[in-house]
């Protein structure tokens, strides 16, 4: 059960509730007056109807206010349906008795106890029934309001929990990308240290710059970086890989100058380029070419990115993860990252076939 505390939103809801209750009471009073008026006989029947409506309805209108805390207590309690129904039945009888007691008190004050007693006895049965009916209507309305509030609070709580879960999952995804990249880079540096100490020193400088970039983008899952900074980081990474692969690694940059100030999540392109090197360049004796494209989307002015290679490609079905198989490093994580981070507005599409290379197209909206 959702507990409704003294939240500012609840106070505003209570004001609306009591305004609605006052409006319903005024409407009931007007309808009672209209039902008892006979305008073709002059104003006397009208004033009589006003008097009767006022003396008869003031008690249930005031008693109806007391139904609210009772309905709230029963709604928030853990009593079963039988106990709740019994409590409402007893409350309905008490409501009816208090209504008649209030009317008796007014009549006794205005016309004396004998008249008040006669009026009470004459209408005891039907007014008792009406008391139960009116209580049921008020209690049902208040219970519906409480259930609506509880449902709304539950929906808000669920949305907040889902948002927190998405942010936590997004942070976890980002955390999985970075260590994978660092592990591969360290392996490359170890290999270079054995073969080319001078090249390893130059690579260490680039690695330090790359590490600083990675650490700077570990602040949170919602971080954004400029495409220009992401490209600089990617150039350092590719220069490091070129020390290991030599002329086997060829890179074709197709960048529009106007999109370099666009923003994107950090480490978006590096996992895709790493995939191309891992599957299309490193295994082949002749190496391969990696093409990196960035341009403005002509339709919605977002950022279009693409990473493609001229490698062997694969069947699209082979991209589906299988138990024990580690293929397509970063692709699933990036797809989920965009789904969580951009609420379905970003896109990641893969184009591949045997002998046709591998291409990943990205669309990142810009605000």
Strand order in the sheet with 288-296: 249-255, 288-296, 303-309, 358-364, 347-352
The tokens describing 60, both together, are: 């249930």
Query: In the chain, where are the structural domains located?
Result: 16-172, 179-365
Per-residue pLDDT at 179: 62
Q: Report how far residue 63's alpha carbon sits from residue 56's, in angstroms, rounded to the nearest whole number.
A: 12
What are 151-159's contacts with CB under 8 Å, separation 24+?
153/2, 153/4, 154/2, 157/2
Domain 179-365 has CATH 2.40.30.10: no
SS3 356: coil
Q: How far apart are CA 320 and CA 105, in angstroms?
A: 81
**Is residue 359 a contact partner of residue 305, using CB atoms and an 8 Å limit?**
no
What pLDDT shows up at residue 162?
58
The CA distance from 118 to 111, in Å, is 11
How is residue 247 annotated by DSSP?
G
CA distance 12 to 23: 17
pLDDT score at 321: 59
**Which contiguous run of DSSP H or E holds residue 294?**
strand 288-296
pLDDT score recorded for residue 286:
92
Q: Find out whether 19 and 145 touch, Cβ atoms under 8 Å.
A: no
Alpha helices in 77-123 (DSSP H): 81-111, 113-122
The H or E element that residue 264 is part of is strand 263-264
pLDDT in tens, the chain (367 residues): 333 444 455 567 778 888 888 888 888 788 877 776 665 565 667 777 777 777 777 878 888 888 888 888 887 776 678 888 888 888 888 888 888 888 888 878 877 888 778 877 877 787 788 888 888 888 888 888 888 888 887 777 666 655 555 555 555 555 555 565 567 677 777 877 877 787 778 788 888 887 777 777 555 555 788 999 999 989 988 988 887 788 999 999 999 999 999 998 888 888 889 889 988 998 999 999 999 999 999 888 899 999 999 999 888 877 765 554 444 446 777 777 777 677 778 888 999 999 899 999 999 998 7
Q: What pLDDT does 304 receive?
A: 95
The pTM for the full model equals 0.53
């Amino acid at each position: 059960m959702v507990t409704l505390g003294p939240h500012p939103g609840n106070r505003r809801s209570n004001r609306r509730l009591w305004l609605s209750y006052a409006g319903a009471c005024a409407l009931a009073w007007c309808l009672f007056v209209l039902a008892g008026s006979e305008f073709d006989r002059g104003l006397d029947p009208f004033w009589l109807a006003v008097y009767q409506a006022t003396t008869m309805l003031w008690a249930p209108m005031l008693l109806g206010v007391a139904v609210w805390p009772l309905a709230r207590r029963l709604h928030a309690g853990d009593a079963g349906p039988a106990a709740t129904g019994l409590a409402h039945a007893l409350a309905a009888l008490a409501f009816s008795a208090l209504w008649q007691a209030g009317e008796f008190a007014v009549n006794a004050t205005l016309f004396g106890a004998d008249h008040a007693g006669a009026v009470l006895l004459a209408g005891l049965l039907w007014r008792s029934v009406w008391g139960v009916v009116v209580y049921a209507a008020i209690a049902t309305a208040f219970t519906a309001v409480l259930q609506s509030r509880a449902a709304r609070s539950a929906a808000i709580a669920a949305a907040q929990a889902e948002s927190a879960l998405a942010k936590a999952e997004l942070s976890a995804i980002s955390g999985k990308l970075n260590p994978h990249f660092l592990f591969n880079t360290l392996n490359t540096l170890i290999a270079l240290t054995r073969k080319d100490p001078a090249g390893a020193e130059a690579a260490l400088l680039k690695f330090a710059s790359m590490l600083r970039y990675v650490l700077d983008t570990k602040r949170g899952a919602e971080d954004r970086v400029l495409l220009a900074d992401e490209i600089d980081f990617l150039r350092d990474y590719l220069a490091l890989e070129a020390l290991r692969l030599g002329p086997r690694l060829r890179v074709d940059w197709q960048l529009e100058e106007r999109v370099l100030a666009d923003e994107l999540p950090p480490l978006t392109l590096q996992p895709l380029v790493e995939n191309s090197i891992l599957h299309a360049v490193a295994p082949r004796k002749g190496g391969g070419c990696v093409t990196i494209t960035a341009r403005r989307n002509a339709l919605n002015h977002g950022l279009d990115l693409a990473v493609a290679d001229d490698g062997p490609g694969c069947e699209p079905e082979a991209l589906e993860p299988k138990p024990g198989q580690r293929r397509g490093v970063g692709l699933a994580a990036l797809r989920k990252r965009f789904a969580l981070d951009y609420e379905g507005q970003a896109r990641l599409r893969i184009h591949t076939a045997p002998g046709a290379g591998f291409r990943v197209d990205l669309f990142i909206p810009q605000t």
